[in-house]
């Protein structure tokens, strides 16, 4: 019998059966059964993605139906009780290619440009984790993210995605585009200003290489301290309460 668990560092993949929402075929796929918690020492790059130990770990975030090629986040599939080796075998495609199918499915079902951009971005990270070139992925992610940012009805954290767009441009060597996007990042991004300034300077210096985030930035971005209202307003606890209720 095949082993249903695979481990990469402390990430655990489990082979399970799921049903395709499009064609109802039940197929076997790997899902992330355990993800180690992030700490400030978790490797993260300046485009805010966590570096994963193997491309199969990222590929397990999505599932691809081998019958109709419908591909989406794993969470959009329903688990089936059929034992995985009795189910239809998964499609044999490179890990990063699964994300290309996810972009295609996104187009087909009219998913928002942001969703499609996130699939393409994950495709670029997966390609890097597999040692493959990722320029085409970044170009695709950039196109989709530009369209998402141009959509006035979208209410996501635009400011943070302006920063991500700056990073995509910088990694593609489009330094003018990068600066233009970094300049549109404001406090709403909840990113340290020194990070945005640093990355803008990297673009001005012509650095198109990936940059790893120092632990203090990982901590500031991923483990933000609760805002201390007393400190911020110079008030006591009671006065703060009055402020909140008035």
Nearer CB in complex with Zn ion: 68/233: 68
CB of 70 to Zn ion, least distance (A): 5
67 touching Zn ion, by CB under 5 A:
yes
Least distance (Å) between residue 123 CB and Zn ion? 20
CB of 27 to Zn ion, least distance (A): 8
SS3 234: coil
Contact call for residue 22 and Zn ion (CB under 5 A)? yes
- Between 102 and 138, CB nearer to Zn ion: 102
68 binds Zn ion (CB under 5 A): yes
Q: How far is the CB of 131 from Zn ion (least distance, A)?
A: 30
Element holding 80 (H helix, E strand): strand 78-80
What is the nearest approach in angstroms of Zn ion to the Cβ of residue 21? 8
CB 25 to Zn ion: min, Å = 5
Compare residues 70 and 99 and give the one whose CB is closer to Zn ion: 70
Contact pick of 5, 7, 10, 23 for Zn ion (by CB under 5 A): 23
Of 133, 134, 106, whose CA–CA distance to 121 is shortest? 134
Q: Which is nearer to Zn ion, 19 or 240 (CB)?
A: 19
- Helix, strand, coil in percent for the chain, rounding step 5: 45, 15, 40
Report the distance separating Cα 193 and Cα 186, nearest Å: 8
Q: Which is nearer to Zn ion, 21 or 133 (CB)?
A: 21
Asked if 20 interacts with Zn ion (CB under 5 A), we say yes
70 counts as binding Zn ion under rule CB under 5 A: yes
Calpha distance 41→232 (Å, rounded): 29
Question: Applying CB under 5 A, which of residues 31, 52, 63, 65 lies at the interface with Zn ion?
Answer: 65
CA separation (Å) from 55 to 20, 98, 102, 123, 174? 23, 11, 16, 10, 27
Query: Can you state the angle between helices 135-149 and 95-108, rounded to 10 degrees?
Result: 30
Binding to Zn ion (CB under 5 A) within 155-174 occurs at: none
Does 243 interact with Zn ion (rule: CB under 5 A)? no
Q: Which residues contact 105 (CB under 8 A, 6 or more apart)?
A: 69, 70, 71, 72, 111
- Within the chain, residue ranges assigned H as helices are 55-59, 95-108, 113-129, 135-149, 158-171, 175-182, 193-204, 215-222, 229-233, 237-245
Distances (CA, A) of 191 to 46, 67, 202, 242: 11, 42, 17, 30
Q: Which stretch binds Zn ion (CB under 5 A): 60-68, 84-92, 106-114, 136-144?
A: 60-68
Least Cβ distance, residue 87 to Zn ion (angstroms): 12
Please give the residue ranges that form the binding site for Zn ion (CB under 5 A).
20, 22-23, 65, 67-68, 70
């Amino acid at each position: 019998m095949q082993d249903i668990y695979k481990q990469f560092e402390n990430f655990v993949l489990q082979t399970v059966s799921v049903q395709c929402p499009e064609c109802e075929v039940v197929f076997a796929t790997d899902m992330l059964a355990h993800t180690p918690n992030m700490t400030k020492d978790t490797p993260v790059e300046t485009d805010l993605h966590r570096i994963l130990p193997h491309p199969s770990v990222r590929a397990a975030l999505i599932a691809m139906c081998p019958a109709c090629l419908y591909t989406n986040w794993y969470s959009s599939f329903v688990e089936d009780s059929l034992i995985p080796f009795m189910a239809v075998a998964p499609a044999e495609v490179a890990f990063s290619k699964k994300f290309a199918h996810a972009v295609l499915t996104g187009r087909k079902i009219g998913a928002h440009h942001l969703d499609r951009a996130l699939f393409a971005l994950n495709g670029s990270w997966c390609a890097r984790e597999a040692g493959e070139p990722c320029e085409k992925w970044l170009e695709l992610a950039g196109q989709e993210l530009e369209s998402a940012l141009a959509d006035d009805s979208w209410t996501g954290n635009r400011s943070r995605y302006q920063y991500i767009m700056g990073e995509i441009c910088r990694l593609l060597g489009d330094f003018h585009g990068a600066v233009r996007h970094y300049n549109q990042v404001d406090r709403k991004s909840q990113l340290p200003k020194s990070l945005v300034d640093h990355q803008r300077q990297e673009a001005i210096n012509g650095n198109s290489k990936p940059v790893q985030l120092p632990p203090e930035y990982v901590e500031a971005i991923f483990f933000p301290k609760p805002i201390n209202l007393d400190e911020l307003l110079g008030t006591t606890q009671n006065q703060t309460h009055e402020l909140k209720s008035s």
